[in-house]
Structures are given as structure tokens and as C-alpha cells.
Structure 1
Amino acid sequence: MQLNNRTYQIQDVNVLDIADEFGLPLYVYDADKIIEKIGLLRSSFSGVNLKIKYAAKALTNISILKLMRQQGVEMDSVSVNEARMGMLAGFAPGQIMFTPSGVSFEEIREAVDLGLQLNVDSLPLLEWVGQTYGSQVAVSIRINPHISEGGNIKISTGHADSKFGVSILQRDAIRELTEKYQIPVSGLHIHTGSDFKNADAFLRGADILFDLAADYPNLTFIDFGSGFKVAYKEGDHVTDVAELGRKVSAAFQNFCQQYGRDIELWFEPGKFLVSESGHLLVKTNIVKENPTRTFVAVDSGLNHLIRPMMYDAYHDIKNISNPSVADETPVEKTYNVVGYICETDTFATDRSLPEVKPGDVLSFENAGAYGFSMASNYNARFRPAEVLVYEGRPYLIRQRETFDDLLRGQVDIPALNLEVIEQ
């Protein structure tokens, strides 16, 4: 989001105009930012046969999926329903990686029937695949490398105690099952979590997969997952994607030479591609001055952006109605920015902002990843609309929910339609 003459803009579109047209609260996504991130990833890995698989769980709107497909990005899904959305967006089943975690065998069967690329993350699942399909279904295998790095423990997935993947210590058991049932192994996968700051964690994971690849001579790809750290505030340390590309590409090229042929290098970025594109616009309801705190209460809450409460995540907040500019800086005050949910619901504590008044429009930044996709109807609140700014125009890509949406699926029991029983 750029500042220009006291106006916040996305692709030269005034953000306040978007708020007026579509109402608040509102998610707004910048297509140019997504395309920029795709380009950065491609240019950083220009020396290898790179395939980008968008981790759709970050933001699953079908228009975002169509944008990814338009840009030549394929898809990673963690549920069959995500995959079905991808197919509606135009992805071929073979372009969709399916990486389940502890799902039912019925869902696995549905994924195989659809033609998805199955990524196996447990020995029981691998044995079931062998018993059910024998040598008829090629799989990739998700390895837990016992690497503990990254950010919040809730998003760290590669440590020894994680539920994800088959432990590298079970290497022999993997090989025994694949040989027993003649299961074709087309890929090896690793994903150790989010918020890696440098290439070292990827290279350690790469060494593990490169060594394991010796057991499987017919691989077509190796998948390093993702975990690139993005900036949530000024000065944040981020993953140097260019450095990562140089180091990982060199290691991968050396591996391919030793392996005897070139194979594909896959990444599955989610947050990296969409986080910075997203803005959650909200309206200030009241400014409440208490003896110890001044609260800014807005028309949103953890039901729309759960990351601050769930992960203690920092999200930059801009007062769009009273922006800071180089030649005219408004008076700043310190606030707790809170939501309207009936429990502790804090977006920011002791945050310095240009003075906020009732009616001001605020923007929570980095709301593209795990904003709407983790949103709920808690407190019987509606989920917001979504807008995509594409080629200089804002497009509605999801309607705001209504009361009918809250009632949809509920079933009335006629026997309860009675007079109140006197006590």
C-alpha cells in the first residue's frame, strides 16, 4: 500500500474509495503484489527446473486461485475441498499436490479418484496405499527431518515431536513398505515450518532429502515446502530469497548431477505469496479513554483476524483517515486496538498511531494470509467481503455474509416450537 498526497492507494486506487464502495470491514488484496512475489521467487531460482505450488490454505478464494493459475503457479492442498476449489479455478488434478495430515482413508480414496498427487505423511497411510493400490498409484513421501527452526511453535512442523511427516529415523520402514507393495515413489517432500530467516535450514533439510533420494531411483521432483519469512513491521528480518535461491540452486544442481539426471525442484509458498498483498480495512467504533489505557474499538475482531490472539502475531496498523506524510506528521497517541468480540480480543497493545477518532478507517497490514481463511462466525458475526485490485480496478470476489448465511444449515425441531413451560 502506497502513500500519495495523504491518500493510501493500491495500484492508484484510493483505499478510502474502496471502503466507501464495498463497505467495512473488508479484505482488500493487491494482485500486483502477488505477481511481484511470484516473479521474485522465479528469478531467484532461475538456474533450476522450478515448480511453484501455491499453498492454498493461506487464502483459498477462487479468484486468487485463478490468478495463481494465470501466472503459471500450480497448487498445494491439504483437503479434498481445497483441491475441488482448485479444479473449479481451472487446475488439472495432476497440478494439485494433496498433503493430508491424519485424514480418513475415505478422503484419501477420494483424492486418488480425483487424480491428485498424493503426498504421504505416515507409515499407516503408506501401508494402506500399498494394500489398496499396490503399484498403481505413485506417491511422494513427506519426511520429518527433526529440524527445529522458524517462528512460533504452533507453526513449526519439522521438529522431532511434530505430528507432521514420517520421521527420518523410520527410513528403513519406508523403504520396506514401498518395496513390499511396489509403490512408485515419484517425489520426496519436506516442510519444517514458517519464518526461516536464511538458507541454512533449507540446506540442512536438502542434505537429508538428497541422501534419502538414493533409495528411490525414479524420482521426478524434490519438494522443499516453504517457510519464507515476510516482514510484518519495519525493520523485520526477512528471508533473503535471492541468497536462498543461489545456495539451494547450487546444492540442487550438484545433487542432480550425482543423481544422474535433472529432476524438478518444488516449493509450496502460501504466506510468502499473499500475506503482503492483503489489507483488512475496519472502521473505528469508539475511542475509550480509561485511567490506564486508551482503547480503539473497531468493527472487527479475532473472528476476522485471529493471528494476533492465536500466535501473538504483530500486524502493522495504519490510520488511513489520518495518515502520516513526510511533510506533515499528525500527533501520535498510544492505543490498545481491540475488537468487538465478547472476550479478550486485542489486535495491538501500546501501539503508537496518528490520532484516531470515531469513524476513522484503519488498515491491518499483512492480512492476505490466514485472514479470511481462518475467519469464523463467532458471536454470530458476519464474515467480511473480499475485493481484489487487479489491473487498476477493484473487483468484488466474495460477497459480505448476511443473516441468512448464519442460519443456513440449521434445522428447526418442530417439537421445540411450544409455549414456554412454566417453572
Structure 2
Amino acid sequence: MNLNEGRYQIGGVDALSMVEHYGAPVYVYDAATMKRQYKRMEKAFGKVKRLRINYACKALTNVNVLRLFRSWGSGLDTVSIQEVELGLRAGFDPHDILYTPNCVSMEEVNEAVEKGVRINIDNISILEQFGALHPSVPVCIRINPHIMAGGNSKISVGHIDSKFGISIHQVPHILKVVEALGLTVEGLHMHTGSDILDAEVFLQAVEILLRAAEDFPDLDYLDFGSGFKVPYKDGGISTNIEDLGSRLGDRFNAFCADYGRELELMFEPGKFLVSEAGTFLVRTNVVKTTPATVFAGVDSGLNHLIRPMFYDAYHHITNISNPAGKPRIYTVVGYICETDTFGINRKLSEVREGDILAMSNAGAYSFMMASNYNSRFRPAEVLVMDGQAHLIRRRETMEDLLGPQVELPQLSGAVKA
């Protein structure tokens, strides 16, 4: 989002005009930012001969966004059979979709096998069942490297007490299962967490996976997950993807030389690719002054953007209706009947009732975590592409809330006293 002659723009389109056209609240995504991040990552790992970037679609699964990434050459990382189906609908080849579920039933895994996508298994029980049912289907195995990494305990998934992955200490058990069932292990996978800043921690986990890979002779790829940090504030820190790409690329190439063939290097970025592309636009309903605080109450809440409440995530907030206004301090809150605070003591241009506030870094895990709590409608989504705004999800209506509900005829009349 940039300021041009006193008006904020997203991808070259006036932000306030989009609110006038599509209403508020509304999520707006800039395709050019997504493409910039994708191409930046491709370039960073340019030393590697076989590179595959699988967009982690759980970050933002709108089918139009999936089609954008497919057009740029991306594969797809999925965590549910529904995401697999969305990926296929978006036109991805099954071989370009990696299915990495957690704690799902064997029935769902079987369905993914039938659809022809690559399978990534993260527990020994499912591996044993998989081998008995599908001994001829190549499989990837998710390893837990026991590395504590990530910006928040809720998004650190590679530590020893995590539910994700098979412990690195259980590799001997994995090897016994693989040998007994005649399985072909085509890939190894790890993911340590999100918002990783320290490249050294990531490279430490890489070494653990590379050592494990030496015990698997039939590998075609290694998937190192993602979790790269993006800046949330002006001048904020982020993962130096170029430095990491150079160092990891050299190490991976050296490993491939020792292994005896060129493996494919995979990553599964989500937030890195789409977080900065998203802006959430909300309208100020009320400015409320108390003895200690000035609240700006908006027409949204944790039902639309739960990350600040769930992860203590920071989203920069801008009053785009009054760029030249006098700076004042506000606590921005929502309209849900819970404590749903977007930002505490934020310096904003003077906020008036009716002003539009923009929340940055709202492309990843934002709309995707939206709900109908308090029976509120989920907002619209707009994609800005080539200087044009396109509606890619309409705002919900009361029919959407009632549609899945089954109204019992015997309860449709007046309630008896």
C-alpha cells in the first residue's frame, strides 16, 4: 500500500474506491506482491539445479490465488483432502501436489492416494497402515528434527513435544517398517515453524535432515518446509532469504554430490509469499473515549482477523481516510462480544467515525481463519491484478448462514409455553 497524491493505493488501485465499490470490511490482495516474493525465492535458490517451490495453500486458498501460483510454475503444499481438491480444481497436476496431513484418518489418506497426489506421512502408525495397503506407492516421511524455532510457541512445530512429524530418534524404527513392507521412500520432509529469523537455526535443522537422508537410498527430493519471516513494521526485520539461499544451496549441492545424484530441493512457503500482499480494510463505527483510553471501534473483529488475539500478531494499522490528520493514540477494537483487540495504543492520523482503517500483512492466515462467530458474515475478497480490481469472493449473506442448517418442521411454529 502506497500513498499517491494524498490517496492510498493497493497495486495501483485506489483503496477507498474499492471500499466504495465492494463495501467494508474487505480483504484486498495484490498479485504483483505475490509474484515478487515467488520470483525472489526462485532467484535466492538459483544455485540449485532442481528447485520446487510448493505454495502452502493453507495460508490463502482462494482458487484464483492458487491459479496465479500455478501460472508462475509453483507446486502446491496441502494439509487436507479439501485443499487437494481445490488444488486439482485450480489445475495443478496431481504429481505437483504434496499432501501433508496431521492426525487424519487412513480413509482420508486413501482418498489422497486415489487422486494421485504425493503423500507425506508424519506418524509410524499411519506409515505401517499405508505400507500394508499401498506398498507400491512412493511415500515421503515427515521428520521432527527437535528444533525449537518460530516467532511464537503456537507456530513452532519442530520441537520435541510437537504433534507434528516422526521424531528424528525414531529413524531406526522407520527403516525397519520400510524394509518390512517394501516401501519406497521418495522424499524426506521437515518444518520447524513460522517466523524464523535466525538462518543458523534453520541450517542446523537442515543438517539433521541431511544426516537422516543418508539412510534412505531411493530419495528423489528433500523438503525443508519454510517459516521464513516477513517484516510487519516499517524497517522491520525479516529472513535474509538471499543469504540463506546461497548458503543452503551450496550445502545441498555438496550433499547431492556425495549422495550420488541430483535431488530436488523443495520448500513450502505460505506466509512468505502472500502475507505482505494482503490488506484488510475496515470501517470505524465509533470513537469511544474512556478515562484511560480512546477506542476506535470497527466493523470487524476476531471473526474476520483472529491473528492478533490468537498469536499476539502485529498488523500495522493506517487511517487511509485522513492521511494528513493530526496523530493521536488509539486502541483499535472490534465489534464482537469478546475482547477482540487489533492494536493497543497505536499512533494513527486522527480517526473519525466512518474512517477506513487498513491493516497490513493480512494475506496469510487471515481470511482463512475467519468464522461466523456472533452470526456475522465473512467479508468479501478482492484481487488486484494488472492494475484492475476483481471480486474473487462475494460477501456472505443470511442465506449463507442458514443454508447448511436443517430447520425442523415441528419447531417452525410458535413455541409452546
Q: Please state which band the TM-score falls in when normalised by the shorter chain.
A: over 0.9
Residue 59 of structure 2 is matched in structure 1 by 58
What's the CA shift for 1:420? 2.8
Query: Over residues 213-259 of structure 1, what are the superposed CA-to-partner deviations in whole Å (9 max), with x where a residue is unaligned?
Result: 11111111000000100111123221000001011001101101110
Question: How much does 1:208 deviate?
Answer: 1.1
Taking the TM superposition and a 5 Å limit, the aligned residue runs for 1:17-96 are: 17-48=17-48, 49-96=50-97
Query: 2 CA distance for matches of 1:24 and 1:86?
Result: 29
% identity of equivalent residues: 53
Matched letter for residue 111 of structure 1 = A
Q: Which amino acid aligns with 1:76?
A: D
User: Could you tell me how far 1:383 is from its partner in structure 2?
Assistant: 0.5
Q: 1: distance between equivalents of 2:371 and 2:218?
A: 44
Amino acid at match of 1:37: Q
* 1:392-415 deviation per Cα after TM superposition (whole angstroms, max 9, x unaligned): 100000111000000011011122
In 1, Cα distance between equivalents of 2:67 and 2:412: 46
Partner of 2:353: 358
Moved more, 310-319 or 10-19: 10-19
- CA distance in 1 between partners of 2:15 and 2:414 (Å): 51
Q: What CA distance in whole angstroms lies between the structure 1 residues aligned with 2:202 and 2:171?
A: 20
The CA deviation string for residues 329-376 of structure 1, in whole angstroms up to 9 with x for no partner, is 531111110000011110011111110000101111000001111000
Cα RMSD over matched residues? 0.9
* Paired residue type of 1:279: T
In structure 1, C-alpha distance between the alignment counterparts of 2:235 and 2:370, rounded to whole Å: 28
**SS of match in other structure, 1:362:** strand
Partner of 2:255: 255
Tell me what 1:377 maps to.
372
Q: 1:383–1:400: 8 Å Cα contact kept in structure 2?
A: yes
SS at match of 1:215: coil
Deviations 1:41-84 (A, max 9, x none): 01100010210000000000000000000111110000010010
Aligned residues of 1:199 and 1:247 also touching (Cα < 8 A): no
Partner of 2:327: 332
Superposed, which structure 2 residues align to 1:101-250 within 5 Å?
A: 101-134=102-135, 136-250=136-250
Q: What is the aligned partner in structure 2 of residue 326 from structure 1?
A: none
Partner amino acid, structure 2, of 1:102: C
The aligned counterpart of 2:294 is 294
In structure 1, the residue corresponding to 2:257 is in which secondary structure? helix
Read off the aligned partner of 1:175 and give its amino acid letter.
L
Answer yes or no: is the 8 Å Cα contact 1:202–1:248 preserved in 2: no
In 1, Cα distance between equivalents of 2:413 and 2:278: 48
- Whether the 8 Å contact between 1:388 and 1:395 is mirrored in structure 2 is yes
Counterpart code for 2:247: K
- For structure 2, the residue ranges without an aligned partner over 5 or more in a row are none
Looking at structure 1, the residues matched to 280 and 10 of structure 2 have their Cα atoms a distance apart, in angstroms, of 13
Paired amino acid for 2:299: D
Q: Which runs of 4+ in 1 moved over 3 A?
A: none
Q: In 2 relative to 1, CA 418–394 (structure 1 residues): closer, same or farther, beyond 3 Å?
A: closer
Q: Aligned partners of 2:162, 2:356: CA distance in 1, in Å?
A: 41
Preserved contact between residue 198 and residue 244 of structure 1 (Cα < 8 Å): no
Question: How many Å apart are 1:295 and its aligned residue?
Answer: 0.5
- Residue type at the aligned position of 2:384: V
Partner in structure 1 of residue 408 of structure 2:
413
CA distance in 2: counterparts of 1:61 and 1:34, whole angstroms? 14
The TM-score, its normalising length taken from structure 1, stands at 0.97
Provide the rounded CA distance (Å) in 2 between the counterparts of 1:249 and 1:417. Answer: 65
Give ranges in structure 1 of 5+ residues lacking alignment: 324-328
In the TM superposition, what is the alpha-carbon distance from 1:202 to its structure 2 partner?
2.1
Residue by residue, what CA displacement relative to the aligned partner does 1:87-144 show, whole Å, maximum 9, x if unpaired? 111001111000000001110000000011000100001100111112x111000000
Other structure's SS at 2:226 match: coil
Whether the 8 Å contact between 1:376 and 1:383 is mirrored in structure 2 is yes
SS of corresponding position for 1:39: helix
Query: How far 1:418 moved relative to its partner?
Result: 4.0
Using structure 2 for the length normalisation, give the TM-score. 0.99
